[in-house]
Amino acid sequence: MKLGYNFGTSIFEPVALAIASMNFKEAKAHTTAGTKISENAQRVIQDIMDDLTSANSKPNKANEIEAIRKVAQTGTMKTVKPTKVDIWLQGYDNELYLFDLKTAKPNKGGFIEFKRTLLEWTACVLAENPNAKINTFIAIPYNPYEPKPYSRWTMAGMLDLQTELKVADEFWDFLGGQGTYNQLLDIFERVGIELRPEIDDYFA
């Protein structure tokens, strides 16, 4: 079964929240990363985006975070309304993990905006706490190409694939531990089978 094709996109967020709530100190959905970004952080973000878009540099999330951290509380603070965080997690060591869930493979232009969102979330968090351990991700809850691997090359110039992207089992096993993704597939398969007569009747 290909997780995602038989279920609406709205199923992933509450399931992710329920699983993460059992394994993280705090888990929230549809929340904000913050409301302030420093003018200097905005400038750094734009420089990062310009370099990536023109292929003058390769994405390196660790370096990008530190560049933003240095200026996160310097210069004029601006009030902003960043994209909502789909899943916001805090580990027991207080490390933060912010996820933007995507259920279809975006085009290259889409990833440019997604990258900016991840950097802006970082700047918002560091504006409030410059010492925060912050991780921001694009999460794709299922692989539409199964059993083939997910094609990542279109994102390689914009996302740091090791630290900014989690696809299918990488996402679910991160939230719930090893084997979570396969357990979910089994559950969704059983639910799908149990509901099949009702679904068939509805469309008949």
Give per-residue pLDDT as tens, 55-75.
889 999 999 999 999 999 999
Predicted local distance difference test score (pLDDT) of residue 7: 52
Please check whether residue 174 lies inside any domain of the structure. yes
Element (H, E) at 149: none
Predicted local distance difference test score (pLDDT) of residue 187: 85
Please check whether residue 204 lies inside any domain of the structure. no
- Quote the number of domains for the chain: 1
Q: How does pLDDT run across 20-36, given as a tens digit for each residue?
A: 999 999 999 999 999 99
Nearest of 72, 90, 77 to residue 129 by alpha carbon? 72
Taking the model in full, what pTM does it have? Answer: 0.88
pLDDT (mean) for 124-147: 92
- Report how far residue 29's alpha carbon sits from residue 91's, in angstroms, rounded to the nearest whole number: 15
Q: How does pLDDT run across 32-46, given as a tens digit for each residue?
A: 999 999 999 999 999
DSSP per residue over 157-180, as a string?
TTS-TTTSEEETHHHHHHHH-TTH
- Phi and psi at residue 93, in whole multiples of 5°? -95, 10
In percent, the amount of the chain with pLDDT more than 90 equals 67
Please check whether residue 2 lies inside any domain of the structure. no
Please check whether residue 81 lies inside any domain of the structure. yes
- Answer whether residue 3 shows pLDDT above 60: no
Task: Report residue 190's pLDDT band, with 50, 70 and 90 as the boundaries.
Answer: confident
Please check whether residue 154 lies inside any domain of the structure. yes
Residue the block writes with tokens 């490390």:
95
Q: 172 lies in which domain range?
A: 9-199
Q: How does pLDDT run across 169-178, given as a tens digit for each residue?
A: 999 999 999 9
Residue the block writes with tokens 């292929």:
55
- Answer whether residue 197 shows pLDDT above 80: no
- Report how far residue 101's alpha carbon sits from residue 13's, in angstroms, rounded to the nearest whole number: 8
Buried b (16+ CB within 10 A) or exposed e, 149-177: ebeeeebebbbbeebbbbbbbebbbbbbe
Please check whether residue 80 lies inside any domain of the structure. yes
Please check whether residue 3 lies inside any domain of the structure. no
- Answer whether residue 191 shows pLDDT above 80: no
Predicted local distance difference test score (pLDDT) of residue 202: 61
Please check whether residue 130 lies inside any domain of the structure. yes
Average pLDDT of every residue of the chain: 88
